[in-house]
Amino acid sequence: MNDDRPVLLETRGACLHLILNRPRALNALSHTMVRLLDEALARAEQDEAIDSVLLSGAGDRGLCAGGDIRALHDDARASGHASLEFWRDEYRLNARIARFPKPYVALMDGIVMGGGVGVSAHAGIRVVTERSRVAMPETAIGFVPDVGGTRLLAAAPGELGTHLALTGRSVGAADAILCGLADHHVPARLLPALTEALGEPARPDDAAAGIVQGFATEPPAGELAAQRDWIDACYAADTVEDIVRKLRESGVPAAEAAADELLTKSPLALKVTLAAVRRAARLDTLEAVLDQEFRVSSRAFEHPDFVEGVRARIIDKDNDPQWKPGSLAEVDDQEVARFFAPLGPGEEELGLAPGLAETSAWEGQAG
């Protein structure tokens, strides 16, 4: 008998197993799912019978493809506000996961994108498989990485995070580990056994981290380590225009392909994303980054590039978005800065980190 609840909760021994249960939608997050996850974690935090939490996705295609993009698109077209409330609760959930006081194991099998990164990559124990494809692909739809993704990408070695943030490319297990988005590789065929082991009665010397380590193996070879030279050299530039120029002038075919790829993205989203990652590197806490991302998401939600990007990439699938403005040169630095300014009258800040609303050190700066 099929269970149509969007989040399944199963307690095995002292482990609470949370299962995202929208497999036909690649377990995309709805507002209801975010609330259910937050409530379950709040209870588990206080429940002395629960020693650990395990997160996985139903089906065999992925943990979570992100938020429900069509619902966000429809809300934006209708000039609604439901999406802002969704992000408000989602970002608070991301912060709760990062600060969760018990072992939280995320099985990042298959597709893990956008909001899927938010519910997994902030976990204390992050497991990828040979099937994992991890990405923050927001620039392709006129949006900007969120769910704490700018903090994660800013912390990646060298300029790898900048490369992934701007291109939106997905990475496999080895590269996810290299970039600090995951910790361990476990072959997909062993996930049922790992799940079973995590649900067995805990022993003093057999904590969740040790159990996962016992299943871990070397991942298949990645790609990014061999590309560090041109990635670090090109993406260290101060502007997106200079990054594209350096990629073009590098003489490296892969770099030139990255330049071509960047020019298919929303010019405004690219510039805001570069600024967001650079600013995230200067913020002290995840909470401060989430506060910043809420401002950026609120502004991106209002901009026509988001609706147009979702239309072109996901709804009509013509892959021919008409961005406004249409080129990097037309993006005004003050427009970029507006994405990071305090929210206006009638708009409520996320407010996870005290004092951000009064912070003005970066106002007027584009990146």
Q: Write down the pLDDT at residue 206.
A: 56
Q: Write down the pLDDT at residue 359.
A: 44
Q: Write down the pLDDT at residue 347.
A: 87
d(CA 285, CA 329): 33
Q: Write down the pLDDT at residue 324.
A: 96
- Would residue 60 be called left, alpha or beta, if left means φ above 0 and alpha means ψ between -120 and 50 degrees? alpha
DSSP 259-277: HHHHTTS-HHHHHHHHHHH
Q: Do 277 and 153 touch, CB atoms closer than 8 A? A: yes
Q: Do 113 and 66 touch, CB atoms closer than 8 A? A: yes
Q: Do 145 and 153 touch, CB atoms closer than 8 A? A: yes
DSSP 10-31: EEETTEEEEEE--GGGTTPBPH
Tokens of 263: 């020019």
Q: Write down the pLDDT at residue 365.
A: 39
Q: Write down the pLDDT at residue 367.
A: 37
Helix (H, G, I), strand (E, B) or coil at 91: helix
**Tokens 């030139």, residue located:** 256
Interstrand relation of 104-108 and 125-128 (parallel, antiparallel or unpaired): parallel
d(CA 22, CA 20): 6
d(CA 243, CA 42): 43
Closest CA to 309 of 140, 164, 144: 140
**CA triple 262-263-266, angle to 5 deg:** 85
Q: Write down the pLDDT at residue 362.
A: 36
d(CA 171, CA 167): 11
Tokens of 126: 């992050």
pLDDT in tens, the chain (367 residues): 468 899 999 999 999 999 999 999 999 999 999 999 999 999 999 999 999 999 999 999 999 999 989 999 999 999 999 999 999 999 999 999 999 999 999 999 999 999 999 999 999 999 999 999 999 999 999 999 999 999 999 999 999 999 999 999 999 999 999 999 999 999 999 999 999 999 987 655 458 999 999 999 999 999 999 999 999 999 999 999 999 999 999 999 999 999 999 999 999 999 999 999 999 999 999 999 999 999 999 999 999 999 999 999 999 999 999 999 999 999 999 999 999 999 988 889 999 998 654 443 333 333 3
* Residues contacting residue 221 through CB under 8 Å, at least 6 positions apart: 174
For 244, list phi and psi in degrees, rounded to 5.
-60, -45
Q: Write down the pLDDT at residue 356.
A: 54
Q: Write down the pLDDT at residue 330.
A: 98
**Tokens 């006129």, residue located:** 142
d(CA 329, CA 338): 17
d(CA 49, CA 199): 12
Q: Write down the pLDDT at residue 201.
A: 73
Q: Do 121 and 106 touch, CB atoms closer than 8 A? A: yes
Q: Write down the pLDDT at residue 354.
A: 80
Tokens of 303: 């901009």
Cβ–Cβ contacts within 10 Å for residue 228, how many? 15
Active site residues: 67, 115, 138, 146
